[in-house]
Structure 1
Amino acid sequence: MSAEGLERRTRNYLSNNVPQIQEHGGFFEVQDVDDETGEVTVAIGGACSGCGIAPMTMNAIEHRLPDEMDGVSSVKVVRAGGPRAAVMPTKTAEMESMEEYRDYSPPF
């Protein structure tokens, strides 16, 4: 499968299965795709950057995408940089390390 095909399928998966990102003022973009290894990097930003459940959303995407999409072996979710960077980076970074978020499974 081509990287372009894998990128398109990843975008479609996120649009259809994690609509909360865009519905709540956030955005995602597929930053990198390695079609040989099946590794995908997704960036989230906008309202997601300061959202209290962003670490849970990131974790859910990292775990569910490889399980539910053929051709994807691993997913890395990162924060968008530049003008779309985190609103509260210190808070969201702190939240990612909280024990409460490790096993949480959001309803999407």
Structure 2
Amino acid sequence: MSAESLERRTRNYLNNNVPQIQDHGGHFEVEDVDEETGEVTVAIGGACSGCGIAPMTMNAIKHRLPDEVSDISKVTVRQANGPRAAVMPNKTDEMEAMEEYQDYNPPF
């Protein structure tokens, strides 16, 4: 497989299975692909940078990509840092303590 092929498969998976990112005004970028090791780095930004549950989305991407895209061994997901990146408090810990989020499973 070529790095381009792995990048394309990663991008296709995210486009097809994580539409909430774009639907909510966010975006993702496949920043780096190491063909030999299978390591992929994805950055999410736009509205994701200001979203309190972005860490949950990032965690889901990190754990699901290797299961769904063959040849991926490790995924690093980070929030994009740009001049428009909003700094919002991380709501993940607070949400995990709330009963209604105990079984939270992003729909992708």
Superposition TM-score tier, normalisation by shorter sequence: 0.7 to 0.9
Normalised to the residue count of structure 2, the TM-score between the two structures is 0.85
Per the alignment, residue 32 of structure 1 pairs with 32
TM-superposed deviation, 1:104: 4.3
Amino acid in structure 2 at the alignment position of 1:37: T
TM-superposed deviation, 1:105: 2.4
Per the alignment, residue 105 of structure 2 pairs with 105
Superposition CA RMSD, Å: 2.0
Aligned residues: 103
Per the alignment, residue 81 of structure 1 pairs with 81
Which structure has the highest helix share of the two?
Answer: 1
Identity among equivalent positions (%) equals 75
| 1:14-60 deviation per Cα after TM superposition (whole angstroms, max 9, x unaligned) | 00000000010000000000010100000000001111221110000
Amino acid in structure 2 at the alignment position of 1:33: V
Amino acid in structure 2 at the alignment position of 1:10: T
Q: 1:84 to 1:42 in 2, by over 3 A?
A: farther
Query: Which whole-Å CA distance do the structure 1 matches of 2:18 and 2:7 have between them?
Result: 16
Alignment of 1:53-72 (within 5 A): 53-72=53-72
Could you list the runs of 4 or more consecutive aligned residues of structure 1 that deviate by over 3 angstroms after TM superposition?
Answer: none
Q: Classify the secondary structure of the residue corresponding to 2:5.
A: helix
Residue 11 (structure 1) aligned with residue 29 (structure 2): no
Amino acid in structure 2 at the alignment position of 1:72: I
Residue 47 (structure 1) aligned with residue 78 (structure 2): no
Unmatched runs of 5 consecutive residues or more in structure 1: none
Query: Which whole-Å CA distance do the structure 2 matches of 1:34 and 1:105 have between them?
Result: 29
